[in-house]
Structure formats: structure tokens, C-alpha cells
């Protein structure tokens, strides 16, 4: 524990009784106000794992709007169904969520469950943590939400709530800050009622103790909040200074003929198994018509995607290349799994074409 960390905690929670009162108030609020998400209607550990990996890099609203969770569970209802599926089908089901290694890790975890646990989801923290793609947050979430056992969780919402409760000023994304917040979360998590408590503290961060304009007036645990008492809720949590995003330009062609589109396979491990629009160089794009452009972000890059209509030279190159394939373009669902920027580009082209017809 860092020097002085105990002071942060004791300022808000001077004794164990205050911790219990805090837990009671938070859980009572959640039981009266908690949202009804589809993954909260089950205690199936496999379903919980699916939901947690989906939500790692994706906002709840996006997952809910397009019913990703429900569609996945219909397509792959058990670890066995996922373990034996073709990778292309798995990536297609994940299409639009991005960060496709999450889907690959889910399939690897399903295979581990089938191979090492005869298809039964393991019930110990250590065994869950050892599954591919599972870290200590996800292991704690599955343990508490599926098995009702004590599991400590820290995500962005929990970090924000804890940093404000304790008026903790160390950057929460620094190594010392991460260590301290996990320690505080451990001290605040009850031995029982873990499912309700963990849901409650995450939802508090999502709906009340938000990044900007925290609504302290309706917070059910404001009496324990040192940041509110000091009037510094709006400047916490602190984070390390972020590097400015790197600007990049990506140029592609959109080759369509006879209601078919030409796509190439992605290279590299991160997008392995996905397809994309053919990329061209700046020199190749000089004499081509620009159809449209838009920006997208990926990791530390902010990319401007410029979509061109192919010229005769590109059409001839496509005919002679063995690095791609023509696909029928009736609907996006009929295409192989695509990276989100290229799916958006094809969709935008289809909308434009329909409007001009």
C-alpha cells in the first residue's frame, strides 16, 4: 500500500460499521433502481462471460441497441456450440463490435471448457482466471454474477466511484493508482451479496457518478463521499496525460460490378479472419474519383478513410490478382466478416446508390 493510502480510506470509512452502511445503501438503491439488462436475467456463467467480454471495449447502449448479446446466445448457446463453430461464423457474429481478439478468446475459452472441464464451466476463481482472454476483473465478475460468490471487480466506472468516494488524487491509470484502487475495492466488497453489490457500484458510475457532471444530489452514497464534501468531484479521477492521437490517411477502392463486390483478406494477427476493401497507395489514388471519406479511431490512431471508385487499371489488377474474391452484395449480412470501417463504407455506398436511383 502506498504511503498515506490508509488516510484516504479512513477519511470516508473510519470503521467497519461505516463500510457495512455504505454497502447497504448502495445495494438498496440498486434493488430499487437497477436496469434490466438481458445478462442480468441469467446466472449461466458462459452467458455472463460472453456479456463481460462484449462490454470490455463497447458501451452498453451499443450492445443493447443491436441485440448483440441475444443474437450471440441464439447462435452459440453453449460452450460446446461455440467451440465447434467455424472461426468465420464467430467473427461474423461479432461483426460491428470491433476488437475481434475478444471473439477469438471467447472461442478459445469455450474450447478449454470443453477439453479440460467436459463442457462444464469451472467454478473456482483460479480456473476462471486461467481461461483465455480472462483477467482479474472478468474472473471476479463471473464469480459474483454467475455463482453469487465474492469477486472483486474494478472497471472504469468502479475506479471513478472509488476515487471520488476517497478523494483519491493519484492518477487511477498509473501503476500505483491501479494497485491502490484494487485494494480499496477489495476492502469495500462484501463477503455476501456480491452479485448485487458489484452490479450496484458499476451502475452508480454509469448513471450517477458519471465522467462529467456527476449528479451528487441523487447519489445514494454521497454521505460517504470525500470528493463531494471537498467540492472536487468534477476534477476526479485524475489520469496520466494522454498522448495526442496520431493522424493517418487510408485509401481504398470500392469495386462493385454485377451486384458483386471484390474484397481482400486482412493481414496481421489483430484482424486475422476478417475481410476488407482493397487498399491503394496515394499515387494510385491520384487519378481516381473520390466517392466519400470519413474518420474512424483505432487505438492511438485517428484515421481518415478515403473511398475511391476503381479505374480501369485497378479493375485489371483485381482480375489478375489471387489475393481477393468477389462476393454477392445483396445485403451486408451475406458478406464475410468485415472490419467496421469497411462495413460502414459499403453501407454508405449502398445508401447513396439507393438515393440516386
Instruction: Give 331 or 74, the one with higher predicted confidence.
Output: 74
Instruction: Find residue 325's DSSP bridge partners.
Output: 263
Cβ atoms of 27 and 200 within 8 Å: the answer is yes
Annotated catalytic residue: which of 3, 5, 52, 120?
52
Cβ atoms of 209 and 155 within 8 Å: the answer is no
Among residues of the chain, what percentage have pLDDT more than 90?
77
Q: b vs e for 84-121, b when ≥16 Cβ sit within 10 Å of the residue's Cβ?
A: eeeeeebbbbbbbbbbbebbbbbbbbbbbbbeeeeeeb
Cβ atoms of 8 and 162 within 8 Å: the answer is no
Per-residue pLDDT at 1 exceeds 60:
no
pLDDT tier, 5 (very low <50, low <70, confident <90, very high otherwise): low
Of 151, 141, 188, nearest in space to 168 by CA: 188
Average pLDDT over residues 164-186: 95
At residue 333, the pLDDT reads: 86
Per-residue pLDDT at 104 exceeds 80:
yes
At residue 294, the pLDDT reads: 95
Average pLDDT over residues 134-159: 96
Average pLDDT over residues 304-313: 91
52 catalytic? Reply is yes
Instruction: Give 260 or 198, the one with higher predicted confidence.
Output: 198
pLDDT tier, 123 (very low <50, low <70, confident <90, very high otherwise): very high
What the chain holds in terms of domains, given with CATH numbers, is 5-235 (1.10.340.30), 246-356 (3.90.79.10)
Average pLDDT over residues 284-294: 93
pLDDT tier, 162 (very low <50, low <70, confident <90, very high otherwise): very high
At residue 204, the pLDDT reads: 98
Q: b vs e for 45-83, b when ≥16 Cβ sit within 10 Å of the residue's Cβ?
A: bbbbbbbbbbbeebebeebeeeebbeebbeebebbeebb
At residue 201, the pLDDT reads: 98
- In terms of Cβ atoms closer than 10 Å to its own Cβ (0-12, 13-18, 19+), residue 3 is exposed
Per-residue pLDDT at 259 exceeds 70:
yes
Q: Is the peptide bond before 237 cis (omega within 30 degrees of 0)?
A: yes
- Residues 347 and 345: their CA atoms lie apart, in Å, by 5
CA dihedral sign of residues 339, 288, 311, 258: positive
Per-residue pLDDT at 355 exceeds 50:
no
Amino acid at each position: 500500500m502506498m504511503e498515506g493510502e490508509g488516510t484516504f480510506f479512513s477519511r470516508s470509512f473510519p470503521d467497519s460499521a461505516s463500510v457495512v452502511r455504505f454497502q447497504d445503501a448502495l445495494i438498496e438503491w440498486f434493488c430499487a433502481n437497477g436496469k434490466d439488462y438481458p445478462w442480468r436475467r441469467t446466472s449461466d456463467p458462459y452467458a455472463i462471460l460472453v456479456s463481460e467480454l462484449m462490454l470490455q471495449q463497447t458501451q452498453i447502449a451499443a450492445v443493447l441497441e443491436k441485440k448483440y448479446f441475444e443474437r450471440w446466445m441464439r447462435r452459440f448457446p453453449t460452450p460446446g456450440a461455440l467451440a465447434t463453430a467455424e472461426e468465420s461464423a464467430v467473427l461474423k457474429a461479432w461483426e460491428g463490435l470491433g476488437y475481434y481478439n475478444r471473439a477469438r478468446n471467447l472461442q478459445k475459452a469455450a474450447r478449454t471448457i470443453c477439453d479440460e472441464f467436459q463442457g462444464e464451466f469451472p467454478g473456482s476463481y483460479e480456473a476462471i482466471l486461467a481461461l483465455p482472454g480472462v483477467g482479474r476483473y472478468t474472473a471476479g465478475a463471473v464469480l459474483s454474477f454467475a455463482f453469487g460468490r465474492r469477486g472483486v471487480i474494478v472497471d472504469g466506472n468502479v475506479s471513478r466511484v472509488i476515487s471520488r468516494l476517497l478523494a483519491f488524487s493519484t492518477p487511477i491509470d498509473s501503476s500505483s493508482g491501479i494497485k491502490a484502487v484494487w485494494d480499496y475495492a477489495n476492502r469495500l466488497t462484501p463477503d455476501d451479496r456480491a452479485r448485487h453489490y458489484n452490479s450496484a457500484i458499476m451502475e452508480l458510475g454509469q448513471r450517477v457518478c458519471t465522467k462529467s457532471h456527476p449528479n451528487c444530489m441523487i447519489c445514494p452514497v454521497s454521505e460517504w463521499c470525500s470528493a463531494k464534501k471537498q467540492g472536487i468531484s468534477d476534477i476526479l479521477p485524475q489520469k496520466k496525460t494522454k498522448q495526442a492521437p496520431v493522424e493517418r490517411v487510408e485509401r481504398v477502392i470500392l469495386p462493385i460490378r454485377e451486384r458483386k463486390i471484390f474484397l481482400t483478406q486482412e493481414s496481421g494477427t489483430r484482424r486475422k479472419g476478417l475481410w476488407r476493401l482493397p487498399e491503394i497507395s496515394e499515387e494510385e489514388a491520384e487519378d481516381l474519383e473520390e466517392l466519400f471519406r470519413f474518420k474512424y479511431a483505432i487505438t492511438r490512431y485517428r484515421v481518415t478513410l478515403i473511398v475511391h471508385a476503381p479505374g480501369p487499371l485497378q479493375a485489371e489488377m483485381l482480375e489478375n490478382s489471387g489475393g481477393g474474391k468477389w462476393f454477392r452484395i445483396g445485403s451486408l449480412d451475406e458478406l464475410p466478416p468485415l472490419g467496421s470501417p469497411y462495413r460502414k463504407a459499403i453501407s454508405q455506398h449502398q445508401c447513396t446508390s439507393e438515393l440516386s436511383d
